[in-house]
Amino acid sequence: MEDTAKYLIHANVTADGVVERSDVVGAVFGQTEGLLGDELDLRDLRASGRVGRIDVEVESTRGQSHGHLTIATSLDKVETATLAASLETITRVGPCRAELEVIEIEDARAAKRNDVVERAKELLETGFDDTVMSSEEILAEVRQHVRVEDITEYEGLPAGPRVADSDAIIVVEGRADVLTLLKYGVKNAIAVEGTNVPEAVAELTTHRTVTAFFDGDRGGDLILEELSQVGEIDYVAFAPAGSSVEDLDHHGLFAALRNKVPYDAVAGLNVPREAVAATDGSASPAPAEADTREGPDVRSTDDGAATDDEGAAEPEAATEPETIYGHATAVIRGDTGRVRFLDGEGAVIGESDASDAYGDLEAIEPAPATLLLDGLLNQRLVDLAADRGVDRIVARALGEFTKRPTGVAVHAIDDVAERAP
């Protein structure tokens, strides 16, 4: 009853003589019987559970008895108050004259509410994790998880999901290097897992465009030498001297890939590894003599991050456009059917087919500052660009817009002056 009680009636009892608990309980039932009618008869209420156990504490000193009485009820306010008032009609307890006075009707639910409030205060202070992730951090973590989950095996070797069908592959040292490339969206890497190059990798290199991407240490040199003896290498890239591929951040990784050189230049002309491994984009790889092959360009994958794929010449410091208009001219006026993403300094951070522009923009990290599209710009792509914080879009043509986000400058190629915006 205590768990379901709404109210608690508290009363003091005084008797001119020595009485016991049973005398007080008997007086309560006996002297209130029939007083309030059948609906509020205390015995019936007790039997039905609407009134709980009558608790009495009584002590006797110097020929007088003093005690406290508590009755729990699930009646409403009016019924409880009426029942409490009836207790004050008691004039005798056992053989003694007595007086009973109701001192309080306690709302049991209020006490519970107070306990709830106090506990809620404690939980507010200690029960919550104060670490709040921003929207960008949440999206980045989810994308990274998805990319890492994409790791597969090729002939038992750790590999990205595109190794089996890509025209170009990147050969790295170990599983951690494959995971690092997947983290930044490069899905066509395969690991040799040691200096003894597996036959599966050697066979794979014979009919793919191959970039060897190794650590900038002696181990990387040994694996490169082994791979050159059992397979065919087209391009070579190194992490900075003394560091590992798995330790590179986004900028360092793609800078190293951009600065790859034809393998013939390394093998025949003895180009220093430091020149190949420059990570700030300042070093221009030495060209191979009589080698006119075009190498795998760092492009966007199907989820928008960059990867290697065959079919376009690697942009180098000497030929890369210096202005946004220059990039727009190369992409759009060159009828490439491509979309190119630039960072805040005008450097290329990704490129893919124009038909994949929406998905690539949605996934590419970090978000680009400029988007160059050889195609028709629609409302859906403009809205996504605004959400991702793109500053400027230049397209071959503009579609019909119901609204233009104020934070994105939108231009058709014919409206752009031949100057750096």
pLDDT of residue 172: 93
Residue 285 confidence (pLDDT)? 43
Mean pLDDT by 10 residues, the chain (421 residues): 79 93 91 87 89 91 92 92 93 92 90 87 77 72 65 89 89 91 87 87 90 85 88 89 84 87 67 49 39 39 42 43 81 88 88 89 89 91 90 88 83 66 41
pLDDT at residue 12, as a whole number: 95
The pLDDT, as a whole number, for residue 371 is 93
Tens of pLDDT, residue by residue over 256-290, are 888 888 887 766 444 445 555 544 433 444 443 33
The whole-number pLDDT of residue 267 equals: 65
Alpha-carbon distance of 348 to 287, in angstroms, equals 21
Q: Residue 287 has what pLDDT?
A: 42
Nearest to 303 by CA among 250, 340, 358: 358
pTM of the model: 0.37
What local confidence, expressed as pLDDT, does residue 148 receive? 60
Q: What is the pLDDT of residue 210?
A: 92
Domains of the chain: 7-112 (3.30.70.2690), 146-289 (3.40.1360.10), 321-421 (3.40.140.20)
Write the pLDDT tens digit of every residue in 113-154. Answer: 888 998 888 888 876 766 666 777 777 677 666 656 678 889
